[in-house]
Structure 1
Amino acid sequence: MMDLAGKKAIVTGASSGIGHAVARHLAARGVELVIMGRNEGKLIDLGNELPSKTTAVTTDISNAESTAEATAKAWGRLGNVDALVHAAGILTPSSIEEMTVAKWREQIDVNLSGTFHVMRESGLRMKGQGFGSMISIGSDLSFKGAPMYSHYCAAKAGVVGLTRAFALELAPTVRVNCVCPGPVDTPMMESEFQWFGGTQRVREEIVGKIPMKRMGSPDEIAAFIAFVAFQATFATGNILSTDGGNTA
């Protein structure tokens, strides 16, 4: 087991899914954490369960002022930050016929602008302290289109471009990489199943398209993210897929 005792990290989206798994993975290895998200109750419950020192901070990442305030609290608590894992995000399928301006803006504001707000606030602080590693979360849909996901595809493709630009601008002080999962067994994935009917046939069709014939587990993705964040010390500006072969 990778020993990260003494390290400090911020994890966004920690109340559910991949962010939740990352927080658990890092805490088990001794990392002091600030966990961020919108659901205060879930964050507090998670913080009480984790074995390492943990602070919960609520924020709305789509709002620049809220993100700036939350980041200041996080850094004030930790003093310095070795890694940021930005796992917060949303997904609600919509056809282009039913795509309202509000639906479009929500996906872009949270998934793309939110990534900019979070990474800018911590990235500049990391540059100032002289070290750091940041992980954004893309998707297999960062690289391909899919019906009902035009807003999400656009946002996640933007995250890839944003990550590369940040990596160049913050080098050599701060490493910035993007991890792009495929379908992962999370509450967000379950909500997608339900949106398309939630039947066993729907599940089998979606899973059947994955070359490895299964979804990833949050723990698998968390372990990959931790490796990139802390051990892949010559990697920056990299877009790293862990998608069961979906983009092969």
Structure 2
Amino acid sequence: MTAKEMGQTSIKIPNWKSLYNPNLLMNSDYRSGIINQKGITSLDKSDGSTELGIDGWILYGINIAVGSNYVTFANRTSANHTVQQPLDIKGLKAGDKVTFYASCFNITGNVYIYMTGLDAQKKKLINGDNEFTFTLTSALERFYIELAPNAVVSFNCKKLEIGEHFTGMPAWNYVLEFAKCWNRFRAYRGTKDNVITITISDKNGTFILPFDVKDMVKRPTVTKNDIWTVSGGVYAEADTHSVYDNSVIFHCTTKEAILQVYFNTNDSYIYVDAYDY
């Protein structure tokens, strides 16, 4: 008797790679696009310092080089260092499974990946395709790429997803990826003498830049480089003062005046940063 005669229907085995679960990692499909608000081509952190590289990826003593469709990380120190991404994933708990995939090339030395509470389960990356499934021991809070001394790795893409299978890289959506990054970091850059705003300073020399930051993941910090003001031929460099939900307060020595606030050089910037380092 056939299965049909017994009233049974055939079971279709899922094609996992046609389901395309969401990628839990931000800014990770470099073949399709790279969110790079800072506009870097490379950063050297071999002094062991910490800095955001391309959006979403924090360098802890790791160098970065940004290609047209790939990103390279290198450790030029004598100790292990990491690249990290904070994770904001609701609902995952101990016992749940997640799968990591990466397409890598030009690996030199030892390169590993792991996540919060899973450092004992770190996995070594190889050239080509890498796929690993992890059973969580706690909620996911952070993703790590660890490079041994003198190790190098280039990524075409990488993905972290819920479940026991790699289901493929989802279609890249610039607007969605940029929004994820924008909620954590905002770079305001311009060329020399570009005007940011015209505003008025008070009796203390403070003035407002109308940056709305209330939709960021937390109250950000603000750093700047070479931001100046001019009023009636009087020039003064601006410094950050304080941050509110709908504005950033700056300060200069020119008081109670109409100010033109501008980028003084091609390397001027204002960074609004809500990452946890």
Bin the TM-score by the shorter chain. under 0.3
Choose between structure 1 and 2: higher helix proportion. 1
TM-score, normalized by length of structure 1?
0.25
Query: Rg larger in 1 or in 2?
Result: 2
Choose between structure 1 and 2: higher strand proportion. 2
TM-score, normalized by length of structure 2?
0.23
